[in-house]
Amino acid sequence: MAGIDYSERIPNNVGLADNRRLQRALEEWQPKFIEWWMEMGPNGFQAKETYLRTAVSVDAQGWAQFDYVRMPEYRWGLFLAEPEPGRTIGFGDHLGAPAWQDVPGEHRGVLRRLIVTQGDTEPASVEQQRHLGLTCPSLYDLRNLFQINVEEGRHLWAMVYLLDAYFGRDGREESEALLQRRSGDRDKPRILGAFNERTPDWLSYLMFTYFTDRDGKYQLASLAESGFDPLSRTCRFMLTEEAHHLFVGETGIGRVVQRTCELMREHKTDDVRRFGGIDLATIQRYINFHYSVSLDLFGSEISTNAANFYTMGLKGRFEESKKRDDHRLKDATYGVVELEGERITTREAPALPSLNERLRDDYIADCQRGLDRWNQVIKKYEIGHELKLPHRGFHRAIGLCAEVKVSPDGRVISEAEWDAKKHEWLPSEADEQYVQSLMQAVTQIGRFANWIAPPARGVNGRPVDFEYVRLA
């Protein structure tokens, strides 16, 4: 890779041309990233031209430039949102002090760990999704998958930038390790649970982009409040891209629901499997799985880590700067889940260690909005069925409810009842096999697989029957 002008090659607004040390670090890392991308990125299609959005600057014209590009030639850039002059730390013990432009020495280890945890999810999701291109339901969906994949790649670059620019040698080692862990690998797994789960089919992928990417939104928004200004600015820009990933999930599941309803109406039956659709009961089980796995990503209800991140000024609340309280929370309380024998109740707990639960609450309210929209679709077809979020204690592996079995309606139940009912509540092997049987690639321009409706419109003003990926 010698001879490449990285400050030119990597679109950036971080002054890369003037920072030789950082350039050298990225020059060493970049070929390893490409190696990882070729090995673990989208399987097939790497030589195909895809109609992709690339960010070449952070202003309105620059952040969404569309053109055909081959994925390995995608220009992964480094962008921070514009600085806010005079920005101060908005919460915790350092409230009101100028935001840090450098890593505060006393918080170095904790900050590095937060950045690494965030960074680790980005390549993990690309790894989880690498086989999906081979079974795409349309060129439109294939293009959206690749858009998400290259942007998760860019989000990895964003975290590697912070590690390389601000954490010296440790940071460079962490950057390498981000390319070495592998989703689902027994010996070197990704850090967080949901990122080691399989994403075997497109229904799982759409659920992932709705539920798991939404955790990304809430975590990034909390990190965007950080007193460490480069992290805050990086996350603020990442959030603009994240919105598209959430859009893919919400509209994608909406389109599956719509197609199911069409088939139900057309054939006057709930059993749309006979007609190649995905029945609402199966969709509900996939919701139950992906929602519960994503709830785990917020950590335990009571967490000293969360309290520390906040008091140190490193990770705030969702929309911290819009809240009207003391931003220290030393005397405040918050309602958290409690197990009372067979019942799940809430109790008031000190607010600082309850911050994971508070963020989870914000997330839950946001998740519900999508369900409401999908239910509107069902209603439009005059079908008496409602999709629901299961209880927050259902199928949890982290936190208080990990100790018990909880039904989707929030009852603490026996192991025996759980074993008897779990296939009504979570995707069974038979469900997975059925969904897998539908995964046949549809690659003719403007055509869609039978189990998903076409989108209402195309990308960037292009028609739905546009050649989003040039396969010829």
* Torsion angle (degrees, nearest 10) of CA 19, 22, 27, 31: -150
Between CA 67 and CA 470 the distance in angstroms is 12
**Member of 150, 306, 401, 435 binding ligand BYC (CB under 6 A):** 306
**H-only helix segments in 77-138:** 108-128
Are 28 and 20 within 8 A, CB to CB?
Answer: no
CB of 112 to ligand BYC, least distance (A): 11
Read off the DSSP letter of residue 91. S
Task: Identify which of residues 298 and 425 has a Cβ nearer to ligand BYC in the complex.
Answer: 298
Tokens of 435: 């969904």
- Interaction between residue 240 and ligand BYC (CB under 6 A): no
CB of 457 to ligand BYC, least distance (A): 25
- Interaction between residue 215 and ligand BYC (CB under 6 A): yes
Closest CA to 282 of 370, 410, 385: 385
CB of 212 to ligand BYC, least distance (A): 5
Closest CA to 90 of 215, 218, 229: 229
Closest CA to 47 of 133, 128, 126, 144: 133
**H-only helix segments in 18-138:** 20-40, 108-128
CB of 278 to ligand BYC, least distance (A): 22
Binding track over 154-193 against ligand BYC, x by CB under 6 A? --------------------------------------xx
Stretch that binds ligand BYC, among 34-42, 214-222, 316-324, 384-392 (CB under 6 A): 214-222
Task: Identify which of residues 71 and 246 has a Cβ nearer to ligand BYC in the complex.
Answer: 246
Stretch that binds ligand BYC, among 1-9, 212-220, 374-382, 422-430 (CB under 6 A): 212-220
Between CA 411 and CA 142 the distance in angstroms is 40
Size of residue set near ligand BYC by CB under 6 A: 25
- Interaction between residue 152 and ligand BYC (CB under 6 A): yes
Binding track over 335-374 against ligand BYC, x by CB under 6 A? ---------------------x------------------
Stretch that binds ligand BYC, among 54-62, 277-285, 299-307, 449-457 (CB under 6 A): 299-307
- Interaction between residue 149 and ligand BYC (CB under 6 A): no
Provide φ and ψ at 428, rounded to 5°: -90, 170
Tokens of 51: 């109609």
CB of 368 to ligand BYC, least distance (A): 19
Are 184 and 196 within 8 A, CB to CB?
Answer: yes
Q: Which residues, numbered 404-433, are part of the site for ligand BYC (CB under 6 A)?
A: none
- Interaction between residue 299 and ligand BYC (CB under 6 A): yes
- In the bound complex, which residue of the shown chain has the CB atom lying closest to ligand BYC? 299
Tokens of 278: 């995905």
CB of 117 to ligand BYC, least distance (A): 4
Read off the DSSP letter of residue 100. B
* Geometric angle at alpha carbon 151, from 135 and 126, rounded to 5°: 45
CB of 137 to ligand BYC, least distance (A): 20
Tally Cβ neighbours within 10 Å of residue 60: 7
Question: Which residues fall within 8 angstroms of residue 467, CB to CB, at 6 or more apart?
Answer: 51, 139, 445
Task: Identify which of residues 297 and 329 has a Cβ nearer to ligand BYC in the complex.
Answer: 297
Task: Identify which of residues 115 and 449 has a Cβ nearer to ligand BYC in the complex.
Answer: 115
Between CA 173 and CA 19 the distance in angstroms is 19
CB of 226 to ligand BYC, least distance (A): 11
Between CA 139 and CA 257 the distance in angstroms is 20
DSSP string, 312-351: TTSS--TTGGG--S-SS-SS-EEEEEEEETTEEEEEEEET
- Give me the amino acid identity at 301: E
User: How many residues in the chain?
Assistant: 472
Closest CA to 171 of 111, 225, 237: 111
- 328: three-class secondary structure by DSSP: coil
- Interaction between residue 390 and ligand BYC (CB under 6 A): no
**Member of 49, 164, 213, 229 binding ligand BYC (CB under 6 A):** 213
**Member of 13, 54, 121, 284 binding ligand BYC (CB under 6 A):** 121
Task: Identify which of residues 204 and 258 has a Cβ nearer to ligand BYC in the complex.
Answer: 204
**Member of 240, 305, 311, 450 binding ligand BYC (CB under 6 A):** 305
- Interaction between residue 212 and ligand BYC (CB under 6 A): yes
Task: Identify which of residues 41 and 277 has a Cβ nearer to ligand BYC in the complex.
Answer: 41
Between CA 195 and CA 183 the distance in angstroms is 6
Question: Which residues make up the interface to ligand BYC (CB under 6 A)?
Answer: 114, 117-118, 121-122, 125, 152, 192-193, 212-213, 215-216, 219, 296-300, 303, 305-306, 315, 356, 398
